[in-house]
């Protein structure tokens, strides 16, 4: 891949802002699409990016287009617009958490238009996106992976090719299944503990540093015990969306989804009662409140 690329970036939100910033700082020509939040767009333009008025204009200015969108419906609509623009886009790299069934379908549509689809979903947080140390799970052939890897390296510290196109989104859903499962377990454990004289700080002090500790536990409890609302900025509505995709994938695969369906229902409940914009650690508050427990922070 040539040293400088004409890169389009659609979705400069919490994660995309930092990623786009790092692509720009690596010396690539960057075109971004307007976002409902003007702050990241204005910041990137000040740093040297160009703002496009629509997807078609961005596609005509780009050889490679990154997507960082809420989910498959938005990705499908955007890919359709890129194909319709009939520009010179060679690669579409979807870093969203998308449904692998949709991803494989889009890859076939893109191939017919002379575009290669790569799924490269992310792990970690907006902090690492800004620092350029995200984890990436890439789905692509070995040849395509080698070609796009230098761009992925502008914003990622750990990059793993997990298989062909679609495998990245599959692995991402499995990753989120595990992490959202942790969140659901922590929330229920805390509620049981609270009813039986074990507060959150005591729970945290026992688990922290032991075999059941992990990075997710630490950011979760920075909110539960420390009250840091921004410790893990991933919305409950997105957790619900991802778990819907997990259950859908399980059903598509003929797998009984007892555990994933139960976890999905917990996040569905949080969104249904109006808490979808809260962040994942706040599932502990939701479960506490549904059980008549008053949560305390700090």
Name residues whose C-beta falls within 8 Å of residue 82's C-beta, 6 or more positions apart in sequence: 55, 59, 65, 89, 92, 115
Rounded CA separation 267/5 (Å): 40
Name the packing angle between helices 167-195 and 100-112 (round to 10°).
160
Rounded CA separation 287/187 (Å): 6
Cβ-based burial of 239 (10 A; exposed 0-12, middle 13-18, buried ≥19): buried
Catalytic residue among 21, 172, 241, 264: 172
Is 29 part of the annotated catalytic residue set?
no
Cβ-based burial of 206 (10 A; exposed 0-12, middle 13-18, buried ≥19): exposed
Rounded CA separation 183/177 (Å): 10
Q: Are 137 and 162 in contact (CB under 8 A)?
A: yes
Name residues whose C-beta falls within 8 Å of residue 232's C-beta, 6 or more positions apart in sequence: 125, 216, 219, 220, 222, 223, 279, 280, 281
Cβ-based burial of 96 (10 A; exposed 0-12, middle 13-18, buried ≥19): buried
Rounded CA separation 162/74 (Å): 24
Catalytically active residues are 172
């Amino acid at each position: 891949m040539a040293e400088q690329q004409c890169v389009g970036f659609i979705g400069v939100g919490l994660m995309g802002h930092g990623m786009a910033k790092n692509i720009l700082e690596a010396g690539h020509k960057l075109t971004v699409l307007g976002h409902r939040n003007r702050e990241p767009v204005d910041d990137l333009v000040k740093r040297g990016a160009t703002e496009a008025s629509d997807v078609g204009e961005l596609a005509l200015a780009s050889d490679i287009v990154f997507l960082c969108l809420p989910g498959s419906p938005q990705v499908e609509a955007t890919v359709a617009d890129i194909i319709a623009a009939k520009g010179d886009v060679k690669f579409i790299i979807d870093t969203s958490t998308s449904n692998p069934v949709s991803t494989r379908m889009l890859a076939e549509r893109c191939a017919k238009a002379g575009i290669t689809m790569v799924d490269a979903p992310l792990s970690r947080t907006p902090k690492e996106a800004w620092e350029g140390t995200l984890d990436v799970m890439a789905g692509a052939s070995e040849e395509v992976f080698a070609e796009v890897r230098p761009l992925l390296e502008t914003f990622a510290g750990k990059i793993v090719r997990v298989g062909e196109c679609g495998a990245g989104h599959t692995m991402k859903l499995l990753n989120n299944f595990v992490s959202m499962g942790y969140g659901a377990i922590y929330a229920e454990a805390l509620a049981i503990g609270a009813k039986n004289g074990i507060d959150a700080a005591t729970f945290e002090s026992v688990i922290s540093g032991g075999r059941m500790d992990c990075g997710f536990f630490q950011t979760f409890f920075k909110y539960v015990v420390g009250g840091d609302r921004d410790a893990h900025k991933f919305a409950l509505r997105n957790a619900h969306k991802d778990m819907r995709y997990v259950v859908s994938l399980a059903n598509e695969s003929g797998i009984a989804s007892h555990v994933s369906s139960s976890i999905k229902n917990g996040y569905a409940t949080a969104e249904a009662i109006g808490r979808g914009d809260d962040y994942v650690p706040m599932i502990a508050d939701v479960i506490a409140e549904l059980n008549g427990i008053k949560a305390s922070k700090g």
